[in-house]
DNA sequence: CATATGACACTAT
DNA sequence: AATAGTGCCATAT
């Protein structure tokens, strides 16, 4: 099932309002990643002071309500690989390229330079 | 409380 | 460089 939250249509389990909280924080930070840059699951976890929760971050993004409005396609693996995407990595790659992020195979080019970690 | 799961990350081969 | 193991965390049941 789906429900609404701050203008977004969210899917099932990561429901907000009963004290939960990771998913909406994840979305909030994801929205800060500028076009043409990328970040990582672990970086988002760390920014939330939950280092090590990278898998949980991925789980939250998997249920991304409304991609690409919430630009979860800009969240990639720490080693520079593109990583997964609910709508398929082809789509993720296409979206990244559209933002001038060059992708070679499953790797982000100039990864360290594209990396955004300056979350607030 | 125990077990299962996943769009991760790190270490050791 | 590529693969395999292992550990992690938040949620769900």
Q: Answer whether residue A63 is part of any domain.
A: yes
Cis amide bond preceding A90, omega within 30: no
The residue lying closest to nucleotide C7, measuring its CA against C1', is A52
Separation between Cα atoms, residue A100 and residue A57, nearest integer Å: 25
Separation between Cα atoms, residue A31 and residue A70, nearest integer Å: 6
Q: Answer whether residue A86 is part of any domain.
A: yes
| Contacts of residue A16, Cβ cutoff 8 Å, sequence gap at least 6 | A5, A10, A23, A24
Q: Answer whether residue A119 is part of any domain.
A: no
CA of A107 to C1' of B12 (A): 23
* Catalytically annotated residues of A: 72
Q: Mean per-residue pLDDT for A47-64?
A: 92
pLDDT of residue A19: 36
pLDDT of residue A93: 96
Q: Mean per-residue pLDDT for A80-94?
A: 94
pLDDT tens profile A92-103: 999 999 999 999
Nucleotide nearest to A70 (CA to C1'): B7
CA of A59 to C1' of B5 (A): 9
Separation between Cα atoms, residue A73 and residue A38, nearest integer Å: 8
pLDDT of residue A66: 65
In this prediction the pTM is 0.86
pLDDT of residue A2: 47
Q: How many domains does chain A have?
A: 1
> Which CATH number fits the domain that encloses residue A83?
1.10.10.10
């Amino acid at each position: 099932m789906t429900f609404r939250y701050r203008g977004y249509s969210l899917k099932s389990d990561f429901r907000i309002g009963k004290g939960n909280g990771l998913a909406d924080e994840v979305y909030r930070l994801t929205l800060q990643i500028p076009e043409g840059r990328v970040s990582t699951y672990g970086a988002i976890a760390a920014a939330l002071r939950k280092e090590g929760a990278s898998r949980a971050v991925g789980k939250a993004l998997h249920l991304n309500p409304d991609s690409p409005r919430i630009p979860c396609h800009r969240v990639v693996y720490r080693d520079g690989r593109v990583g997964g995407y609910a709508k398929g990595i082809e789509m993720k790659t296409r979206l990244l390229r559209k933002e001038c992020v060059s992708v070679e195979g499953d790797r982000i080019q100039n990864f360290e330079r594209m990396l955004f970690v300056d979350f607030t």
